[in-house]
Amino acid sequence: MAYDEASYVIFQTSCYVLLKCYRNGEPWCLDWREVCNGVVDCFDDGLDEESCFELEKNECSENEFRCRNGLCIDASLWEQGEGDADCLDQSDQYMEVFNSSNCFQYATFRCEEHTCTRSSTMYPCGDGQCCGRFKVCNNGRHKLFINAITAQ
């Protein structure tokens, strides 16, 4: 990948600036969806998965549903079933209502909050799409990941 191409892609990605992440001694742009997702992305110190148990302390009332990101929503919203996501991360939806084909038809913000399920084989593309192993992001974000793990 050419330097210009990598620089262009980086500017299209939002970096979580509150966490200094390093891979092989080099600074790494970490998306907020990659923090506390069960996968160590900061190879040097694992800082992105440190103290994540603190997030689990957020408990919801009996009449509330706990979203994957810790947000509590009224249970009546969750019980309405499929359709509109009420959790910002869309974890209240059983199926992927905002799949990648819908995300690319609308402004990125529509899918910006979507997180992938906790899995070492799923990779968030930053626009609502989740890629499995050996898959590519439609927006090219996978190139950053490949470049980081092969740059040694």
- pLDDT digit string, tens, across residues 4-28: 444 444 445 567 777 888 888 888 8
* Residue 26 lies inside a defined structural domain of this protein: yes
Angle at 59 between CA 63 and CA 31, to 5 degrees: 115
pLDDT tens column, 50-104:
887 776 666 788 888 888 777 788 887 766 665 677 776 777 775 444 444 455 4
Distance CA 36, CA 48 (A): 6
In a domain, 127, yes or no: yes
- Digit-coded pLDDT (tens) for 103-124: 544 444 445 556 676 655 677 7
How many domains is the chain partitioned into structurally? 1
Domain that residue 12 falls in = 3-57+98-150
Residue 15: name the closest of 2, 27, 23, 1 by CA.
Answer: 27
Is residue 88 in a domain? no
Structure tokens at 123: 């990779």
- pTM exceeds 0.75, yes or no: no
- Asked if residue 48 is part of any domain, the answer here is yes
| 91 located within any domain | no
